[in-house]
Structure 1
Amino acid sequence: MILCAGESLIDMVPEDGAFRPLAGGAVYNTAIALGRLGQDTGYLWPISRDPFGDVIMRPLAEAGVNIDLCPRTDRLTTLALVTLTNGEALYSFYDEGSAGRMLTSDDIAPLPASVSALFAGGISLVPDPCGAAIEGLIAQHHDRLPVMIDPNIRPFFITDPDSYRARLDRMLPMADIVKLSSDDLEWLYPGLDPEDAARKVLATGPRMVLQTGGEAGAKAIWNGPTVSAPAVRTTVADTIGAGDTFNAGVMASFDRQGILTKDGIATVTADQIHAALTLGAKAAAITVSRPGANPPWAREMSA
């Protein structure tokens, strides 16, 4: 089971002059996408007992995602107010004292033996106590489980950049796979060419760094020649959930190829990486073709 640990929230998405509440969050979106793609998936994050918690639970159930590790709480659900500019999503967060933000290591039950890989990232890595809890989870298990991290950096959410950089300096070397967008790389290494920045991250310890750039497609920086896959052309409704779905496609592909293991990622080939990037790009293209974070189901991928 691929366990996704990180934020879920409610995206308040513009619609006909008002806002429509939709379940979202970077790590949550990846869990939903993995479940819809047919992978054995689990989710770890506190879920509120408020009405928005029910909105979050429904897609998890529909996608067959295991929520046994999700503590329930009376704290409120995080809200993200979304504004769209030329299809690009910008966010304002209402998160103080929320269900997820107050996650501590004590809230995380021992992982069952069925957990075979970990995915983490998003804004759940930024504030404490939840950031420390997710960091602790990765630190405890990265020696035996393959780990993928996508920081999905939101500069406006980061109140203490030095502290957050220090956390990433600790966490990214513990990952086997790191995904970073061009914007992420620019924040980490201002003024540096994105591929050079990705190689700096690679040098800290991950087996591969996936660099994404929207219409520019995706690249894998690893110990072999750079592997590239083009973006799939489509009519873009918005970009909400695109990178999250890409992450799911990559992990699903590695899982189906039987290499989503420590040894498998350590001995991965260029062809295996290309297949993963291609599946990720195809899944992301379906997501951006329709409003909101609405990842594809397995049946749509074969259409």
Structure 2
Amino acid sequence: MLICCGEALIDMIPAKTKDGQDAYVPHVGGAVFNTAIALGRLGTEVGMISGISTDPFGERLKEALGASGVDTTRLIRADRPTTMAYVTLQEGSASYSFHDENSAGRMIAPEDLPALPETCEALYFGGISLAVEPGAETYATLCARECADRVVMVDPNIRPGFIRDEAAFRDRMDRMLGQADIIKISDEDLDWLQPGTQGSSEKARALQAQTGALVILTRGARGAEAFHAGGELQVPARTAEMVDTVGAGDTFNAGVLAELSARGRLSKDDLAAIDETDLRAALDFGARVAAVTVSRAGANPPWRSELD
């Protein structure tokens, strides 16, 4: 089993009413939620740890997870509001305004964390859940508790406007990236974490040397690069008629994890010794499923049957 740890929220997507007025339509979402949904649809055994409200939006999130085959038994339910993300789309690219004060997702504490099953082979962390306290430190606690025994993947997925304490966030990222076996990071996120004139590939190479992790650098339409102890490789993005990019990176992460799991590579030893064939296949599968997501509106990852 893979367990995704982080936010589940409601994306308020711009739309038009029948008479042409501006409006928002609620859609289930969140970076970690999207990855869990994508893994479930790809047929991977997956669960989720997240603070979920008991309000109608929280019920909708729980039902959506179950409908895509995600185990919901470790959700942390609370009588607090659901996080809302108001989305702005410009030429298909999304930016977000988050409303998260006192939310069910944000207010989880270490004592709320569930025990993990022995069948859990990997944990995935990322998104805005790593940016705001107390929940961010709760996820950091879980990462530190489990990283010696299970594969950890981290995608910072940084939203600079959402970070209130930059020093604390950078400290948390240093700790979690140092505990990770897989780091997936976009070129924009890497430039934010490591300001300077070096190119993204040089920065990713340095991050790999510093952490010892498999580092996957994504460049949007320019594809992805991987840096690991055995070398480097590049995989192009798949061609797609883009509608928007909502959930593209999250789906890519799911594809990579699903393929690594299917190939029996989700253990610390197997990742450390991964060969180019398996790594290229995992990145290419991530690009394949992400291309489906960008070809339709919102975060709507493909089912395995759509890929056959």
Same fold judged by TM-score > 0.5?
A: yes
Matched, 1:103 2:108: yes
In the TM superposition, residue 163 of structure 1 has moved relative to its aligned partner by 1.2
* Ranges of 4+ aligned residues in structure 1 off by more than 3 Å: none
Within 5 Å, which residues of 2 pair with 1:134-173? 134-173=139-178
In the TM superposition, residue 223 of structure 1 has moved relative to its aligned partner by 1.8
Matched, 1:259 2:256: no
Name the counterpart of 1:183: 188
User: Using the alignment, how far apart are the partners of 1:203 and 1:225 within structure 2?
Assistant: 11
In the TM superposition, residue 224 of structure 1 has moved relative to its aligned partner by 2.6
In the TM superposition, residue 168 of structure 1 has moved relative to its aligned partner by 0.7
1:225 maps to amino acid: G
Match of 1:75 among 76, 80, 86: 80
Match of 2:49 among 27, 44, 53: 44
Name the counterpart of 2:38: 33
Contact 2:55–2:82 under 8 Å retained in 1: yes
Q: TM-score, normalised by structure 2?
A: 0.96
2:301 maps to amino acid: P
User: Using the alignment, how far apart are the partners of 2:207 and 2:306 within structure 1?
Assistant: 34
In the TM superposition, residue 71 of structure 1 has moved relative to its aligned partner by 1.5
Match of 2:209 among 194, 200, 203: 203
User: Using the alignment, how far apart are the partners of 1:225 and 1:205 within structure 2?
Assistant: 15
Q: TM-score, normalised by structure 1?
A: 0.98
User: Using the alignment, how far apart are the partners of 2:194 and 2:302 within structure 1?
Assistant: 33
Name the counterpart of 2:299: 293
Matched, 1:192 2:193: no
In the TM superposition, residue 205 of structure 1 has moved relative to its aligned partner by 1.8
Number of residue pairs aligned between Structure 1 and Structure 2: 302
Matched, 1:268 2:292: no
1:249 maps to amino acid: G
Within 5 Å, which residues of 2 pair with 1:112-127? 112-127=117-132
Name the counterpart of 1:247: 253
In the TM superposition, residue 164 of structure 1 has moved relative to its aligned partner by 0.7
Paired residue secondary structure (2:210): coil
Matched, 1:13 2:19: no
Gaps of 5+ in 2: 17-21
User: Using the alignment, how far apart are the partners of 1:137 and 1:54 within structure 2?
Assistant: 25
Paired residue secondary structure (1:226): strand
User: Using the alignment, how far apart are the partners of 2:104 and 2:213 within structure 1?
Assistant: 33
Paired residue secondary structure (2:231): coil
In the TM superposition, residue 114 of structure 1 has moved relative to its aligned partner by 2.1
User: Using the alignment, how far apart are the partners of 1:161 and 1:207 within structure 2?
Assistant: 24
Gaps of 5+ in 1: none
Within 5 Å, which residues of 2 pair with 1:204-219? 204-219=210-225
1:212 maps to amino acid: T
User: Using the alignment, how far apart are the partners of 1:166 and 1:200 within structure 2?
Assistant: 18
